[in-house]
Structure 1
Amino acid sequence: MPAIRHRHVEIDGLKVFVREAGDAARPTIVLLPGYPSSTRAYVRLIDRLAASWHVVAIDYPGFGSSDPLPGDPTFDRLADVTGRVIDQLGIGDYAVYMFDFGSPVGFRVALEHDQRVKAVITQNGNAYTDGLGPDMQVLNGWWQDRSVDQESVDWVVSLEGTRHQWLTGAKDPEHIDPEQALADQAVLDLPGRADYMKSLLWDYQTNLERYPAWQAWLRERQPAVLAVWGRHDTFFIPAGAEAYRRDVPEAEVVLLDTGHFAIEEAADEIAGHVDTVLAKTFA
């Protein structure tokens, strides 16, 4: 099992944390994490993929071990930095693995990198209104009127809210490492970081406006698509996985008996499906 390498890449004075494993001469898969998690959540997947592939996982600014952006963060700014990290690492063609926030970051990058993105693996990474589940309704009310549901949004960045992210839809809560939520919360509890994340949750509404552009890119490009989904996710429901077939008819959809953080309970199964898609894509 290749060892994981840990380092920072500097972009405009920001130190952006990267985990990397495997032979850089092999095809690359870029792993993009979700909210409020970091690339720490991908360690088990990296271990399973690195023997065959070059694996790169990137903490967005303000997530995990990366410096936060100055001022109010937006998904446009997260994607700009993430895309520039990929470029600075000298990555040419690659597959992208999108989970949760990884979808709005990843699709923005994909539209910029275009032909370089050969495969899209979306694990509970939404790009269709069909996929918006009941846990997204709190944000929808808040977006309509910022005075509405403010207490609920404040709860989202609390330890209880972070634990909910990790546990929602899990087949067995004992499969979910409780230290994952504690590690995420340690970042959220840094000075100013909860407000930073709430700014991103506010900006999340801009992603819905981008869905048609992302769908058009999928229709035009027809990349290999694997939608591997925890079917019990209450944030992004299975209809969001099935919807990818509207734009990429050959998309493979796999629904697993788990929840939002599917990788916690189904790392072996997910790695197997990813391995198969990468082998076909980079044959």
Structure 2
Amino acid sequence: MAVMTTEKRAVSAPAKAGSEPAGRVRAELRDLQISFRLPDMSTLDVISGISMTVSEGEFVAVVGPSGSGKSTILRALCGLLKPSGGHVAVDGVPVSSPPPGVGFMFQKDALLPWRTVAGNIRVGAELGGMPAEEHEERIGRLVKLLRLDGFENAWPNQLSGGMRQRVSLGRLLAYQPSLMLMDEPFGALDYQTKIAMGKELLSVWEAERRAIIFVTHDIEEAVALADRVVVFSARPARIVADYKVDLPRPRHMRAMRSDPAFTMLTEAIWADLALPS
């Protein structure tokens, strides 16, 4: 009952968009503006004045209509896209090029076919500058954490879709980023595999406690995983709600779907998405 009461407050009074949570700020967007020039020389406004922060160890999910700029903010944070206006910073440093300590996981795993499971995970350690003598210990820990034991020497084409995504997650974690940007990493997976991968991600996050910005179209996935759910409007995107997810951890992905508090929050987010931009 206590959870239900807290959740009702979160639903009825979402946090102010752009409000800063406690702890060291890993990522900051302030009055972010992003526009693209089209071939006919007209301008397409994608992001309109978005402000938000993500603190150390915080798991933030971003949801919104297709084409609302969710993936665009990730590209701005990792220095792959220059904003039209506003401020983008990682660990307090303005982003003008790919910043150190930021890892990106895409929907497609993009594993190297000529490297084994262990070899693909090793890529992250190499890119992160980890001393070679520490590679084996880190890879072994991640293989065990992601339940890939026995597949260390398997090739990517010998793995299921879910296992390939686990390897991709292992590669990201081997890089040891302070900020993890995840762009619908489980979007192409079937429902059962998506639930399993969500469980894996939560177990890794609880062990590693790295800041995560997780973009998804799946509202239930967002609520099940995150500390906060930030809701974007249709393009040009602005933040229409910023919910604190006050459900207890550890979370059991299937069981929580029968929790009234879970249902109330997902329905509130659906209502936000139905609002005109």
Query: Would you call these one fold, judging by a TM-score over 0.5?
Result: no
The one of the two structures with greater contact order (alpha-carbon pairs below 8 A, sep at least 6) is 2
Larger-Rg structure = 2
So what's the TM-score if we normalise by structure 2? 0.27
Structure with the largest fraction of strand: 2
